[in-house]
Amino acid sequence: MQSHHNVQRLENGAVSQRDPLLGEDPTGLPDLAADQLFNGSTVASRFLRAELELNARLRTLSFGKPVRYTYNPLEYAWDTHRCYVEKYCQEGQSVLFLGMNPGPFGMAQTGVPFGEVKAVRGWLEITGTVGRPAEEHPKRRIVGLDCTQSEVSGARFWGFFQELCGETHNFFRHCFVHNLCPLIFMSESGKNLTPPELPAAERDALLSCCDSALCQVVTALGVSMVIGVGKLAEQRARRALAEAGITVRVEGIMHPSPRNPLANKGWANIVRDKLDNLGVVSLLTS
């Protein structure tokens, strides 16, 4: 059975956000606010526009086995995601941290990259309503900001920067955080599947869309460095940006996943050393 990413209506009855490219308002906002979103007058509006265009392209794709469920938090969690972008995506940021795709208890629940719920509600102070995908795995329900399960990767990632920076302003005046791919994939059993685990043709079509969107995002932000969180994101960013002729430094840090044995042996210290070598620690603590 194929998992078709063509969600029309959320389970709570709300219509999912549709891109203007498809002829419908993706935001549910009054006309004035929608106009402001799409006129490109701010970095945040250009960033959101690129994401909505990516949503439209991803909606044309479908995924067969081993994928059984596909969630897109940029649709059902657009409200909280937009809060995150409008609050923290700003002029003058020079570093983009890039993850691969959402985790089931992080961005899938909150709409925020590495979005462990306590960090999102606490340090980041994100608010908003989270809907639900049209079809959910019974073991992977979306409960939004009420999710009680912690995502280790997100807790480590945002916890590290909270400890390093203290205030969110000290981080976001220089840095922003984004995922290459907004989709989360699950097998029949509910196992999380990463994009490299998809069949080759489906993976290539997916990542081609995501690569193009990344180039748009990097151009809109005007960052000088992209730091992949994990080897996959680093390698994909390096390739996509080089092929597009976008001159930006691409580096990488270790992924904080508990599935990575090295990350369980002092991820924060390893990453601090790497970011220190890259000049990012001095940027964030000056």
Residue 195's pLDDT is 93
Segments in 59-111 forming alpha helices (H): 73-76, 78-88, 107-110
Q: What is the pLDDT of residues 68-125, one digit of tens each?
A: 999 999 999 999 999 999 999 999 999 999 999 999 999 999 999 999 999 999 999 9
Lowest mean pLDDT among 5-14, 46-55, 102-111, 219-228: 5-14
Identify the band that residue 40 occupies on the pLDDT scale cut at 50, 70 and 90: low
Q: What is the pLDDT of residues 173-185, one digit of tens each?
A: 999 999 999 999 9
The rounded mean pLDDT for the chain is 88
Q: What is the pLDDT of residues 139-171, one digit of tens each?
A: 899 999 999 999 999 999 999 999 999 999 999
Check if the beta carbon of residue 63 is closer than 8 Å to that of residue 131.
Answer: no
d(CA 169, CA 205): 37
Q: What is the pLDDT of residues 221-237, one digit of tens each?
A: 999 999 999 999 999 99
Residue 41's pLDDT is 83
Q: What is the pTM of this model?
A: 0.88
Residue 18's pLDDT is 38
Residue 37's pLDDT is 54
Residues written for the chain: 286
Take residue 62 and report the two structure tokens written for it: 């479908």
Q: What is the pLDDT of residues 60-69, one digit of tens each?
A: 999 999 999 9
Q: What is the pLDDT of residues 249-268, one digit of tens each?
A: 999 999 999 999 999 999 99
